[in-house]
Structure 1
Amino acid sequence: MRFHTRKWIKPEDLNPNGTLFGGRLLEWIDEECALYSIVQLENPKTVTKYMSEIDFKSSAHQGDIVEIGIEVVKFGTASLTLKCEVRNKMTRESIITIERIVMVALDENGKPRPHGKKKVEFVKDRLK
């Protein structure tokens, strides 16, 4: 799994228990998956269709640095299925895992649009 983004837990990210608010973490995951999928599918109209069970494994506290990891599970006709793990950067302890996140490429009318992709591509390889 490749860990693409790091977040620093700040006071505004905390819940009443003083730990990272799950909704904030899900916001970060959704944004990271959207950005990753938009780049992979080369379509800025890519949206989240589905998230499987969300498994909170541990909490994070103010001052912790977390990193968001994404791995491609499969390419569909108009979709990209990812899995995600967020972990504490310093301890490597897993904070949350999501086994399946389905992102869908849309056309100008908001309907699924086939993307023709079969494998992960890196931007540097497209520029050759």
Structure 2
Amino acid sequence: MRFHTRKWVKPEDLNPNATLFGGQLLAWIDEEAALYTIIQLENSKIVTKYISEINFMASAKQGDIVEIGIEVLNFGKSSITLKCEARNKMTRETILTVDKIIMVNLGDDGKPAPHGKTKVEFVKDRLKS
């Protein structure tokens, strides 16, 4: 799994228990999944279709650095299926896992559209051609 994004837990990210609010972490994950999908499918018109069970394993507190990792599980005809892990950057302790996130590629009409991708591509490799 590649960890692409780091977030610094600030006071406004906390719940009444003084730990990271789960909804904030899920928003960060949804944004990361969207950005990852946009880059992979080379299309900014994508939507989140499905997020499986979310497993909170540890908490984070103010000042912690959370990193978010994404891994591709499958390329569908108009979708990409990802898994995700959020962990503490300094301790490597897993904070949360999501087994399956399905993102869907949309056409200009706003409906699911084939993307033609079958494997993970890196932008640096696209620039060589």
Deviation digits for residues 66-107 of structure 1, max 9, x if unmatched? 100000000000000000000000110000000000000001
Q: Name 2:65's counterpart in structure 1.
A: 65
Aligned length: 128
Q: Give the whole-Å Cα distance in 1 for the aligned partners of 2:125 and 2:86.
A: 27
Secondary structure (helix, strand or coil) at the match of 2:81 reads strand
Secondary structure (helix, strand or coil) at the match of 1:23 reads helix
Provide the alpha-carbon RMSD of the alignment. 0.4
2:29 aligned partner, one-letter code: I
Q: Name 2:117's counterpart in structure 1.
A: 117
Give the TM-score normalised by the residue count of structure 2.
0.98
Q: Give the whole-Å Cα distance in 1 for the aligned partners of 2:102 and 2:119.
A: 16
| Aligned-pair CA distance for 1:50 | 0.2
Structure 2: unaligned runs, 5 residues or longer? none
Secondary structure (helix, strand or coil) at the match of 1:127 reads helix
| Aligned-pair CA distance for 1:20 | 0.1
Q: Name 1:88's counterpart in structure 2.
A: 88
Give the TM-score normalised by the residue count of structure 1.
0.99
Q: Give the whole-Å Cα distance in 1 for the aligned partners of 2:75 and 2:45.
A: 17
Deviation digits for residues 21-73 of structure 1, max 9, x if unmatched? 00000000000000000010011001100000000000000000010000000
Q: Name 2:38's counterpart in structure 1.
A: 38
1:96 aligned partner, one-letter code: L
Q: Give the whole-Å Cα distance in 2 for the aligned partners of 1:63 and 1:104.
A: 34
1:104 maps onto 2:98 in alignment: no
Off by >3 Å, runs of 4+ in structure 1: none
Q: Give the whole-Å Cα distance in 1 for the aligned partners of 2:18 and 2:73.
A: 34
What is the percent sequence identity of the aligned residues? Answer: 75
Secondary structure (helix, strand or coil) at the match of 1:26 reads helix
